[in-house]
Structure 1
Protein backbone atom coordinates (compact mmCIF):
# COMPACT_ATOMS: atom_id res chain seq x y z
CA UNK A 1 0.00 0.00 0.00
CA UNK A 2 1.45 3.31 -1.02
CA UNK A 3 2.17 5.95 1.62
CA UNK A 4 2.05 8.75 -0.88
CA UNK A 5 -0.36 11.36 0.40
CA UNK A 6 -3.30 11.96 -1.83
CA UNK A 7 -5.13 15.22 -2.18
CA UNK A 8 -8.35 15.27 -0.24
CA UNK A 9 -11.30 14.79 -2.53
CA UNK A 10 -14.38 16.94 -2.10
CA UNK A 11 -17.45 14.87 -1.25
CA UNK A 12 -19.61 16.90 -3.65
CA UNK A 13 -18.04 17.89 -6.92
CA UNK A 14 -18.97 21.27 -8.36
CA UNK A 15 -21.38 21.08 -11.27
CA UNK A 16 -20.75 24.33 -13.11
CA UNK A 17 -23.10 23.42 -15.93
CA UNK A 18 -25.99 23.12 -13.46
CA UNK A 19 -25.02 26.36 -11.71
CA UNK A 20 -24.89 28.26 -14.98
CA UNK A 21 -28.22 26.75 -15.97
CA UNK A 22 -29.86 27.90 -12.72
CA UNK A 23 -28.38 31.39 -13.12
CA UNK A 24 -29.71 31.62 -16.67
CA UNK A 25 -33.12 30.44 -15.49
CA UNK A 26 -33.17 33.03 -12.68
CA UNK A 27 -32.13 35.77 -15.14
CA UNK A 28 -34.90 34.76 -17.53
CA UNK A 29 -37.49 34.76 -14.74
CA UNK A 30 -36.50 38.33 -13.85
CA UNK A 31 -36.59 39.34 -17.51
CA UNK A 32 -39.99 37.68 -18.11
CA UNK A 33 -41.42 39.33 -14.99
CA UNK A 34 -40.30 42.76 -16.17
CA UNK A 35 -41.85 42.17 -19.59
CA UNK A 36 -45.15 41.13 -18.01
CA UNK A 37 -45.34 44.22 -15.86
CA UNK A 38 -44.65 42.62 -12.47
CA UNK A 39 -43.79 45.43 -10.04
CA UNK A 40 -43.72 45.71 -6.27
CA UNK A 41 -46.05 48.71 -6.35
CA UNK A 42 -48.61 46.74 -8.31
CA UNK A 43 -48.35 43.89 -5.81
CA UNK A 44 -48.97 46.23 -2.86
CA UNK A 45 -51.97 47.82 -4.59
CA UNK A 46 -53.30 44.34 -5.34
CA UNK A 47 -53.07 43.39 -1.68
CA UNK A 48 -55.11 46.46 -0.77
CA UNK A 49 -57.79 45.63 -3.35
CA UNK A 50 -57.79 42.00 -2.21
CA UNK A 51 -58.31 43.02 1.41
CA UNK A 52 -61.29 45.18 0.50
CA UNK A 53 -62.74 42.36 -1.60
CA UNK A 54 -62.44 39.92 1.29
CA UNK A 55 -64.08 42.42 3.64
CA UNK A 56 -67.07 42.61 1.29
CA UNK A 57 -67.34 38.81 1.22
CA UNK A 58 -67.90 38.44 4.95
CA UNK A 59 -70.21 37.24 6.28
CA UNK A 60 -71.31 34.76 3.61
CA UNK A 61 -75.02 34.63 2.84
CA UNK A 62 -76.95 31.44 2.12
CA UNK A 63 -80.32 33.12 1.61
CA UNK A 64 -80.49 32.00 -2.03
CA UNK A 65 -79.82 28.40 -1.06
CA UNK A 66 -82.15 27.01 -3.73
CA UNK A 67 -80.06 28.60 -6.48
CA UNK A 68 -76.94 27.24 -4.82
CA UNK A 69 -78.34 23.71 -4.55
CA UNK A 70 -79.50 23.72 -8.18
CA UNK A 71 -76.03 24.73 -9.35
CA UNK A 72 -74.26 22.09 -7.25
CA UNK A 73 -76.64 19.34 -8.37
CA UNK A 74 -76.10 20.29 -12.02
CA UNK A 75 -72.32 20.26 -11.54
CA UNK A 76 -72.52 16.80 -9.98
CA UNK A 77 -74.60 15.58 -12.89
CA UNK A 78 -72.15 17.04 -15.40
CA UNK A 79 -69.18 15.40 -13.64
CA UNK A 80 -70.82 11.97 -13.33
CA UNK A 81 -72.09 11.86 -16.92
CA UNK A 82 -68.78 13.11 -18.34
CA UNK A 83 -66.79 10.59 -16.30
CA UNK A 84 -69.07 7.70 -17.28
CA UNK A 85 -68.86 8.30 -21.01
CA UNK A 86 -65.21 9.32 -20.78
CA UNK A 87 -64.31 6.03 -19.10
CA UNK A 88 -66.39 3.96 -21.53
CA UNK A 89 -64.74 5.59 -24.55
CA UNK A 90 -61.27 5.42 -23.00
CA UNK A 91 -61.34 1.63 -22.68
CA UNK A 92 -61.05 0.77 -26.39
CA UNK A 93 -58.85 3.79 -27.08
CA UNK A 94 -56.42 2.73 -24.37
CA UNK A 95 -56.25 -0.79 -25.76
CA UNK A 96 -55.59 0.53 -29.27
CA UNK A 97 -52.79 2.77 -27.95
CA UNK A 98 -50.96 -0.04 -26.12
CA UNK A 99 -47.78 -0.74 -28.10
CA UNK A 100 -47.30 -4.22 -26.65
CA UNK A 101 -50.68 -5.39 -27.97
CA UNK A 102 -51.19 -3.43 -31.18
CA UNK A 103 -49.06 -2.83 -34.29
CA UNK A 104 -47.49 0.61 -34.85
CA UNK A 105 -49.94 1.54 -37.62
CA UNK A 106 -52.71 1.33 -34.99
CA UNK A 107 -50.97 2.79 -31.95
CA UNK A 108 -49.51 5.91 -33.57
CA UNK A 109 -52.81 7.37 -34.89
CA UNK A 110 -54.49 6.49 -31.60
CA UNK A 111 -51.77 8.18 -29.56
CA UNK A 112 -52.01 11.20 -31.84
CA UNK A 113 -55.73 11.39 -31.07
CA UNK A 114 -55.02 11.10 -27.32
CA UNK A 115 -52.43 13.87 -27.56
CA UNK A 116 -54.97 16.03 -29.37
CA UNK A 117 -57.48 15.52 -26.54
CA UNK A 118 -54.79 16.44 -24.00
CA UNK A 119 -53.55 19.50 -25.86
CA UNK A 120 -56.22 21.93 -24.69
CA UNK A 121 -57.48 22.88 -21.26
CA UNK A 122 -61.12 21.96 -20.54
CA UNK A 123 -62.03 25.66 -20.48
CA UNK A 124 -60.79 26.12 -24.05
CA UNK A 125 -62.67 23.01 -25.18
CA UNK A 126 -65.77 24.22 -23.33
CA UNK A 127 -65.62 27.56 -25.17
CA UNK A 128 -65.51 25.70 -28.48
CA UNK A 129 -68.50 23.55 -27.55
CA UNK A 130 -70.42 26.56 -26.25
CA UNK A 131 -69.90 28.24 -29.62
CA UNK A 132 -70.91 25.04 -31.43
CA UNK A 133 -73.96 23.83 -29.46
CA UNK A 134 -74.84 26.81 -27.26
CA UNK A 135 -74.83 27.54 -23.55
CA UNK A 136 -75.77 24.88 -21.06
CA UNK A 137 -74.74 21.66 -19.40
CA UNK A 138 -74.32 19.75 -22.68
CA UNK A 139 -71.34 21.89 -23.66
CA UNK A 140 -69.76 21.28 -20.26
CA UNK A 141 -70.33 17.53 -20.48
CA UNK A 142 -68.79 17.32 -23.95
CA UNK A 143 -65.75 19.33 -22.88
CA UNK A 144 -65.12 17.13 -19.85
CA UNK A 145 -65.56 13.96 -21.92
CA UNK A 146 -62.77 15.14 -24.21
CA UNK A 147 -60.55 15.84 -21.20
CA UNK A 148 -61.38 12.48 -19.63
CA UNK A 149 -60.46 10.62 -22.81
CA UNK A 150 -57.12 12.40 -23.00
CA UNK A 151 -56.24 11.58 -19.39
CA UNK A 152 -57.61 8.07 -18.86
CA UNK A 153 -56.68 6.70 -22.28
CA UNK A 154 -53.04 7.69 -21.85
CA UNK A 155 -52.71 6.23 -18.36
CA UNK A 156 -54.65 3.12 -19.32
CA UNK A 157 -52.40 2.49 -22.32
CA UNK A 158 -49.31 2.91 -20.15
CA UNK A 159 -50.75 0.51 -17.56
CA UNK A 160 -51.32 -2.10 -20.27
CA UNK A 161 -47.75 -1.67 -21.52
CA UNK A 162 -46.45 -2.50 -18.03
CA UNK A 163 -48.31 -5.80 -17.66
CA UNK A 164 -46.60 -9.17 -17.56
CA UNK A 165 -46.82 -10.85 -20.97
CA UNK A 166 -46.38 -14.28 -19.38
CA UNK A 167 -50.02 -14.31 -18.31
CA UNK A 168 -51.05 -13.15 -21.79
CA UNK A 169 -49.03 -15.93 -23.41
CA UNK A 170 -50.53 -18.49 -21.04
CA UNK A 171 -54.06 -17.47 -22.03
CA UNK A 172 -53.09 -17.47 -25.71
CA UNK A 173 -51.69 -21.00 -25.34
CA UNK A 174 -55.15 -22.23 -24.35
CA UNK A 175 -56.40 -21.24 -27.80
CA UNK A 176 -58.30 -18.16 -26.64
CA UNK A 177 -59.07 -15.47 -29.18
CA UNK A 178 -58.11 -11.82 -28.96
CA UNK A 179 -61.16 -10.88 -26.88
CA UNK A 180 -60.51 -13.76 -24.49
CA UNK A 181 -56.89 -12.66 -24.12
CA UNK A 182 -58.02 -9.16 -23.19
CA UNK A 183 -60.57 -10.41 -20.67
CA UNK A 184 -58.50 -13.16 -19.05
CA UNK A 185 -54.92 -12.04 -19.63
CA UNK A 186 -54.96 -8.24 -19.60
CA UNK A 187 -58.02 -7.09 -17.65
CA UNK A 188 -57.12 -8.74 -14.28
CA UNK A 189 -53.71 -7.04 -14.30
CA UNK A 190 -54.94 -3.53 -15.06
CA UNK A 191 -58.36 -3.44 -13.36
CA UNK A 192 -57.18 -2.08 -9.96
CA UNK A 193 -55.23 0.76 -11.62
CA UNK A 194 -58.09 1.50 -13.99
CA UNK A 195 -60.47 1.88 -11.06
CA UNK A 196 -58.01 4.29 -9.47
CA UNK A 197 -57.78 6.29 -12.70
CA UNK A 198 -61.57 6.46 -12.97
CA UNK A 199 -62.16 7.63 -9.40
CA UNK A 200 -59.47 10.27 -9.76
CA UNK A 201 -61.03 11.47 -13.02
CA UNK A 202 -64.42 11.78 -11.34
CA UNK A 203 -62.82 13.93 -8.68
CA UNK A 204 -61.09 16.00 -11.34
CA UNK A 205 -64.26 16.42 -13.41
CA UNK A 206 -66.09 17.64 -10.34
CA UNK A 207 -63.55 20.43 -9.98
CA UNK A 208 -63.45 21.17 -13.70
CA UNK A 209 -67.24 21.34 -13.89
CA UNK A 210 -66.98 24.56 -11.91
CA UNK A 211 -64.52 26.07 -14.38
CA UNK A 212 -66.39 25.12 -17.54
CA UNK A 213 -69.52 26.64 -16.02
CA UNK A 214 -67.81 30.02 -15.89
CA UNK A 215 -67.58 30.08 -19.71
CA UNK A 216 -71.16 28.88 -20.23
CA UNK A 217 -70.94 25.15 -19.60
CA UNK A 218 -73.60 25.07 -16.89
CA UNK A 219 -73.37 24.05 -13.28
CA UNK A 220 -72.32 26.01 -10.23
CA UNK A 221 -69.68 27.86 -12.26
CA UNK A 222 -72.41 29.76 -14.10
CA UNK A 223 -73.99 30.72 -10.77
CA UNK A 224 -70.59 31.84 -9.46
CA UNK A 225 -69.88 33.96 -12.53
CA UNK A 226 -73.31 35.61 -12.33
CA UNK A 227 -72.75 36.44 -8.67
CA UNK A 228 -69.40 38.05 -9.53
CA UNK A 229 -71.00 40.13 -12.25
CA UNK A 230 -73.69 41.35 -9.85
CA UNK A 231 -71.09 42.16 -7.15
CA UNK A 232 -72.81 39.78 -4.72
CA UNK A 233 -69.55 38.95 -3.01
CA UNK A 234 -71.21 37.56 0.12
CA UNK A 235 -73.05 35.05 -2.08
CA UNK A 236 -69.78 34.37 -3.94
CA UNK A 237 -68.16 33.35 -0.66
CA UNK A 238 -71.08 31.06 0.12
CA UNK A 239 -70.67 29.38 -3.28
CA UNK A 240 -66.92 28.98 -2.73
CA UNK A 241 -67.47 27.42 0.69
CA UNK A 242 -69.92 24.90 -0.73
CA UNK A 243 -67.56 24.08 -3.64
CA UNK A 244 -64.68 23.43 -1.24
CA UNK A 245 -66.91 21.24 0.93
CA UNK A 246 -68.09 19.22 -2.09
CA UNK A 247 -64.53 18.74 -3.35
CA UNK A 248 -63.36 17.56 0.07
CA UNK A 249 -66.30 15.16 0.31
CA UNK A 250 -65.55 13.84 -3.17
CA UNK A 251 -61.91 13.29 -2.16
CA UNK A 252 -63.03 11.21 0.83
CA UNK A 253 -65.47 9.18 -1.27
CA UNK A 254 -62.93 8.55 -4.04
CA UNK A 255 -60.34 7.41 -1.50
CA UNK A 256 -62.88 5.01 0.02
CA UNK A 257 -63.81 3.70 -3.45
CA UNK A 258 -60.17 3.00 -4.30
CA UNK A 259 -59.74 0.98 -1.10
CA UNK A 260 -62.95 -0.99 -1.63
CA UNK A 261 -62.59 -1.88 -5.32
CA UNK A 262 -58.83 -2.38 -5.56
Structure 2
Protein backbone atom coordinates (compact mmCIF):
# COMPACT_ATOMS: atom_id res chain seq x y z
CA UNK A 1 0.00 0.00 0.00
CA UNK A 2 1.42 3.37 -1.03
CA UNK A 3 2.15 5.86 1.71
CA UNK A 4 0.17 9.08 1.33
CA UNK A 5 1.98 12.41 1.59
CA UNK A 6 1.41 13.94 4.97
CA UNK A 7 1.15 10.63 6.84
CA UNK A 8 3.15 10.10 9.99
CA UNK A 9 5.44 7.41 8.55
CA UNK A 10 5.63 8.81 5.01
CA UNK A 11 7.43 11.65 3.28
CA UNK A 12 5.82 14.92 4.31
CA UNK A 13 5.60 17.68 1.73
CA UNK A 14 4.87 21.33 2.42
CA UNK A 15 1.38 22.32 1.27
CA UNK A 16 1.51 24.34 -1.93
CA UNK A 17 -0.88 26.67 -3.72
CA UNK A 18 -0.16 24.93 -7.02
CA UNK A 19 -1.96 21.88 -8.35
CA UNK A 20 1.28 19.97 -8.93
CA UNK A 21 5.01 20.50 -9.38
CA UNK A 22 4.75 20.96 -13.12
CA UNK A 23 2.31 23.83 -12.69
CA UNK A 24 4.56 25.40 -10.06
CA UNK A 25 7.64 25.34 -12.29
CA UNK A 26 5.68 26.68 -15.26
CA UNK A 27 4.44 29.62 -13.16
CA UNK A 28 7.96 30.31 -11.87
CA UNK A 29 9.32 30.21 -15.42
CA UNK A 30 6.64 32.63 -16.64
CA UNK A 31 7.36 35.06 -13.80
CA UNK A 32 11.10 34.89 -14.46
CA UNK A 33 10.55 35.44 -18.17
CA UNK A 34 8.28 38.41 -17.52
CA UNK A 35 10.84 40.04 -15.21
CA UNK A 36 13.64 39.56 -17.76
CA UNK A 37 11.43 40.93 -20.53
CA UNK A 38 10.63 43.98 -18.37
CA UNK A 39 14.34 44.71 -17.90
CA UNK A 40 14.91 44.35 -21.63
CA UNK A 41 11.89 46.46 -22.57
CA UNK A 42 12.94 49.46 -20.43
CA UNK A 43 16.52 49.18 -21.72
CA UNK A 44 18.18 48.39 -18.39
CA UNK A 45 21.72 47.23 -19.11
CA UNK A 46 24.70 46.57 -16.80
CA UNK A 47 26.72 49.21 -18.67
CA UNK A 48 24.08 51.87 -18.12
CA UNK A 49 23.79 50.90 -14.46
CA UNK A 50 27.56 51.19 -13.92
CA UNK A 51 27.66 54.56 -15.67
CA UNK A 52 24.81 55.69 -13.43
CA UNK A 53 26.79 54.66 -10.36
CA UNK A 54 29.69 56.80 -11.52
CA UNK A 55 27.39 59.76 -12.07
CA UNK A 56 25.87 59.24 -8.63
CA UNK A 57 29.28 59.31 -6.97
CA UNK A 58 30.10 62.55 -8.79
CA UNK A 59 26.78 64.09 -7.73
CA UNK A 60 27.30 63.17 -4.08
CA UNK A 61 30.83 64.60 -4.12
CA UNK A 62 29.44 67.86 -5.53
CA UNK A 63 26.82 67.99 -2.76
CA UNK A 64 29.41 67.91 0.03
CA UNK A 65 29.74 69.75 2.28
CA UNK A 66 26.18 71.11 2.71
CA UNK A 67 26.21 74.91 2.62
CA UNK A 68 23.94 77.91 2.19
CA UNK A 69 24.20 81.68 2.14
CA UNK A 70 22.21 83.66 4.74
CA UNK A 71 19.58 84.48 2.12
CA UNK A 72 19.31 80.84 1.06
CA UNK A 73 19.01 79.77 4.69
CA UNK A 74 16.10 82.18 5.18
CA UNK A 75 14.38 80.80 2.08
CA UNK A 76 14.85 77.26 3.37
CA UNK A 77 13.36 78.11 6.77
CA UNK A 78 10.38 79.78 5.09
CA UNK A 79 9.83 76.69 2.95
CA UNK A 80 10.01 74.33 5.93
CA UNK A 81 7.56 76.45 7.94
CA UNK A 82 5.23 76.61 4.95
CA UNK A 83 5.35 72.80 4.58
CA UNK A 84 4.52 72.30 8.26
CA UNK A 85 1.60 74.74 8.10
CA UNK A 86 0.35 73.12 4.90
CA UNK A 87 0.33 69.68 6.53
CA UNK A 88 -1.55 70.94 9.62
CA UNK A 89 -4.22 72.78 7.61
CA UNK A 90 -4.62 69.92 5.11
CA UNK A 91 -4.98 67.35 7.88
CA UNK A 92 -7.60 69.43 9.70
CA UNK A 93 -9.57 70.11 6.52
CA UNK A 94 -9.36 66.49 5.41
CA UNK A 95 -10.61 65.17 8.77
CA UNK A 96 -13.57 67.58 8.79
CA UNK A 97 -14.61 66.41 5.32
CA UNK A 98 -13.89 62.71 5.84
CA UNK A 99 -15.84 62.31 9.11
CA UNK A 100 -19.30 62.43 7.48
CA UNK A 101 -18.00 60.39 4.55
CA UNK A 102 -16.89 57.68 7.00
CA UNK A 103 -20.38 57.50 8.52
CA UNK A 104 -21.85 57.32 5.03
CA UNK A 105 -19.51 54.44 4.15
CA UNK A 106 -20.27 52.35 7.26
CA UNK A 107 -22.68 49.57 6.27
CA UNK A 108 -23.99 49.14 9.81
CA UNK A 109 -25.22 52.75 10.00
CA UNK A 110 -26.00 54.02 6.50
CA UNK A 111 -28.73 52.86 4.10
CA UNK A 112 -27.51 51.04 1.01
CA UNK A 113 -27.69 54.00 -1.44
CA UNK A 114 -25.83 56.32 0.96
CA UNK A 115 -23.31 53.56 1.68
CA UNK A 116 -22.55 53.22 -2.03
CA UNK A 117 -22.09 56.99 -2.37
CA UNK A 118 -19.70 57.04 0.59
CA UNK A 119 -17.68 54.13 -0.76
CA UNK A 120 -17.51 55.78 -4.18
CA UNK A 121 -16.11 58.98 -2.66
CA UNK A 122 -13.46 56.96 -0.82
CA UNK A 123 -12.57 55.03 -3.98
CA UNK A 124 -12.14 58.22 -6.03
CA UNK A 125 -10.02 60.00 -3.42
CA UNK A 126 -7.76 56.96 -3.07
CA UNK A 127 -7.25 56.45 -6.79
CA UNK A 128 -4.67 59.16 -7.49
CA UNK A 129 -1.20 59.89 -6.16
CA UNK A 130 -0.55 63.14 -4.30
CA UNK A 131 1.59 64.51 -7.13
CA UNK A 132 -1.15 63.91 -9.70
CA UNK A 133 -3.69 65.67 -7.50
CA UNK A 134 -1.20 68.50 -6.86
CA UNK A 135 -0.70 69.02 -10.60
CA UNK A 136 -4.47 69.28 -11.08
CA UNK A 137 -4.80 71.69 -8.16
CA UNK A 138 -1.97 73.87 -9.49
CA UNK A 139 -3.81 74.11 -12.81
CA UNK A 140 -7.05 74.92 -10.97
CA UNK A 141 -5.94 77.48 -8.35
CA UNK A 142 -2.43 78.40 -9.49
CA UNK A 143 0.99 77.99 -7.93
CA UNK A 144 1.41 78.23 -4.18
CA UNK A 145 0.54 76.53 -0.90
CA UNK A 146 -3.23 76.55 -1.53
CA UNK A 147 -2.79 73.94 -4.25
CA UNK A 148 -0.69 71.82 -1.89
CA UNK A 149 -3.23 72.09 0.93
CA UNK A 150 -6.07 71.03 -1.36
CA UNK A 151 -4.07 68.11 -2.75
CA UNK A 152 -3.10 66.81 0.69
CA UNK A 153 -6.62 67.31 2.05
CA UNK A 154 -8.04 65.40 -0.93
CA UNK A 155 -5.81 62.42 -0.16
CA UNK A 156 -6.55 62.71 3.57
CA UNK A 157 -10.24 62.14 2.87
CA UNK A 158 -9.60 58.80 1.18
CA UNK A 159 -7.19 57.59 3.84
CA UNK A 160 -9.10 58.79 6.90
CA UNK A 161 -12.63 57.96 5.76
CA UNK A 162 -11.73 54.41 4.74
CA UNK A 163 -10.04 53.47 8.02
CA UNK A 164 -12.61 55.27 10.16
CA UNK A 165 -15.54 53.63 8.37
CA UNK A 166 -14.01 50.22 9.03
CA UNK A 167 -13.65 51.16 12.70
CA UNK A 168 -17.32 52.20 12.81
CA UNK A 169 -18.34 48.88 11.30
CA UNK A 170 -16.53 47.05 14.12
CA UNK A 171 -18.19 48.91 17.02
CA UNK A 172 -20.29 47.17 19.65
CA UNK A 173 -23.89 47.56 18.47
CA UNK A 174 -25.25 46.51 21.84
CA UNK A 175 -24.79 50.03 23.17
CA UNK A 176 -26.72 51.41 20.20
CA UNK A 177 -29.58 48.97 20.80
CA UNK A 178 -29.70 49.89 24.49
CA UNK A 179 -30.01 53.63 23.77
CA UNK A 180 -32.66 53.05 21.12
CA UNK A 181 -34.57 50.75 23.49
CA UNK A 182 -35.04 53.57 26.00
CA UNK A 183 -36.28 55.97 23.32
CA UNK A 184 -33.02 57.63 22.31
CA UNK A 185 -32.93 59.51 19.02
CA UNK A 186 -30.57 58.72 16.17
CA UNK A 187 -28.37 61.68 17.11
CA UNK A 188 -28.20 60.48 20.72
CA UNK A 189 -27.14 57.05 19.48
CA UNK A 190 -24.26 58.65 17.56
CA UNK A 191 -23.23 60.94 20.43
CA UNK A 192 -23.40 58.46 23.30
CA UNK A 193 -22.69 55.13 21.62
CA UNK A 194 -20.77 55.50 18.36
CA UNK A 195 -18.50 58.46 19.12
CA UNK A 196 -17.15 57.21 22.48
CA UNK A 197 -16.07 53.98 20.79
CA UNK A 198 -14.27 55.60 17.87
CA UNK A 199 -12.71 58.73 19.43
CA UNK A 200 -9.42 56.96 20.36
CA UNK A 201 -9.17 55.72 16.77
CA UNK A 202 -9.91 59.20 15.42
CA UNK A 203 -7.10 60.68 17.50
CA UNK A 204 -4.65 57.97 16.44
CA UNK A 205 -5.51 58.29 12.74
CA UNK A 206 -5.30 62.09 12.92
CA UNK A 207 -1.78 61.97 14.33
CA UNK A 208 -0.72 59.34 11.80
CA UNK A 209 -2.14 61.28 8.86
CA UNK A 210 -0.48 64.49 10.06
CA UNK A 211 2.83 62.64 9.95
CA UNK A 212 2.11 61.44 6.41
CA UNK A 213 1.07 64.90 5.22
CA UNK A 214 4.23 66.39 6.71
CA UNK A 215 6.31 64.07 4.53
CA UNK A 216 4.19 64.58 1.43
CA UNK A 217 4.16 68.36 1.83
CA UNK A 218 7.88 68.35 1.07
CA UNK A 219 7.18 66.59 -2.23
CA UNK A 220 4.16 68.36 -3.72
CA UNK A 221 6.16 71.58 -3.90
CA UNK A 222 8.16 70.07 -6.75
CA UNK A 223 5.17 70.66 -9.03
CA UNK A 224 4.64 74.18 -7.68
CA UNK A 225 2.22 73.39 -4.85
CA UNK A 226 4.10 75.29 -2.14
CA UNK A 227 6.40 74.16 0.62
CA UNK A 228 10.09 73.34 0.68
CA UNK A 229 9.86 71.19 -2.46
CA UNK A 230 9.95 74.15 -4.84
CA UNK A 231 13.06 75.50 -3.08
CA UNK A 232 14.76 72.13 -3.49
CA UNK A 233 13.80 71.96 -7.17
CA UNK A 234 15.17 75.45 -7.82
CA UNK A 235 18.47 74.57 -6.15
CA UNK A 236 18.91 71.56 -8.45
CA UNK A 237 18.00 73.61 -11.52
CA UNK A 238 20.70 76.13 -10.56
CA UNK A 239 23.24 73.30 -9.99
CA UNK A 240 23.68 74.52 -6.42
CA UNK A 241 24.16 71.00 -5.10
CA UNK A 242 25.59 72.00 -1.72
CA UNK A 243 22.42 73.96 -0.99
CA UNK A 244 20.38 71.01 -2.25
CA UNK A 245 22.10 68.63 0.16
CA UNK A 246 21.43 70.98 3.08
CA UNK A 247 17.73 71.14 2.20
CA UNK A 248 17.58 67.34 1.91
CA UNK A 249 19.21 66.90 5.32
CA UNK A 250 16.79 69.38 6.90
CA UNK A 251 13.82 67.58 5.31
CA UNK A 252 15.07 64.24 6.64
CA UNK A 253 15.51 65.75 10.09
CA UNK A 254 12.02 67.28 10.11
CA UNK A 255 10.44 64.01 8.95
CA UNK A 256 12.32 61.99 11.58
CA UNK A 257 11.24 64.40 14.33
CA UNK A 258 7.66 64.21 13.09
CA UNK A 259 7.82 60.41 12.96
CA UNK A 260 9.12 60.20 16.53
CA UNK A 261 6.52 62.66 17.83
CA UNK A 262 3.76 60.80 15.99
CA UNK A 263 4.82 57.43 17.40
CA UNK A 264 4.99 58.85 20.93
CA UNK A 265 1.57 60.48 20.65
CA UNK A 266 -0.03 57.30 19.29
CA UNK A 267 1.42 55.27 22.18
CA UNK A 268 0.01 57.77 24.66
CA UNK A 269 -3.42 57.62 23.05
CA UNK A 270 -3.49 53.83 22.98
When normalised by structure 2's length, the TM-score is 0.91
Q: Does 1:98 align with 2:106?
A: yes
- Whether the aligned pair in 1 keeps the contact of 2:102 and 2:165 (CA below 8 Å) is yes
State the 1:9 CA deviation. Answer: 2.8
State the 1:122 CA deviation. Answer: 0.8
RMSD across aligned positions (CA): 1.5
2:162 partner SS = helix
2:46 aligned residue (40, 43, 55):
40
Moved over 4 A (4+): 4-7
- Give the alignment of 1:28-107 within 5 angstroms: 28-63=34-69, 64-107=72-115
2:84 partner SS = helix
Number of corresponding residues:
259
Partner residue, 2:29: 23
In structure 2, what is the Cα distance between the partners aligned to 1:33 and 1:105? 46
In structure 2, what is the Cα distance between the partners aligned to 1:208 and 1:6? 59
Partner residue, 2:14: 12
Q: Does 1:260 align with 2:262?
A: no
Q: Does 1:208 align with 2:250?
A: no
Comparing 26-35 with 126-135, which one deviates more in the overlay? 26-35
- Whether the aligned pair in 1 keeps the contact of 2:91 and 2:153 (CA below 8 Å) is yes
Partner residue, 2:7: none
1:54 partner SS = helix
Q: Does 1:124 align with 2:132?
A: yes
1:196–1:26 distance in 2 versus 1, CA, 3 Å: farther
1:22 partner SS = helix
Q: Does 1:218 align with 2:226?
A: yes
2:116 partner SS = helix
1:99 partner SS = coil
In structure 2, what is the Cα distance between the partners aligned to 1:124 and 1:56? 31
Q: Does 1:141 align with 2:149?
A: yes
- Whether the aligned pair in 1 keeps the contact of 2:221 and 2:227 (CA below 8 Å) is yes
In structure 2, what is the Cα distance between the partners aligned to 1:19 and 1:106? 47
List gaps (5 residues or longer) in structure 1: none
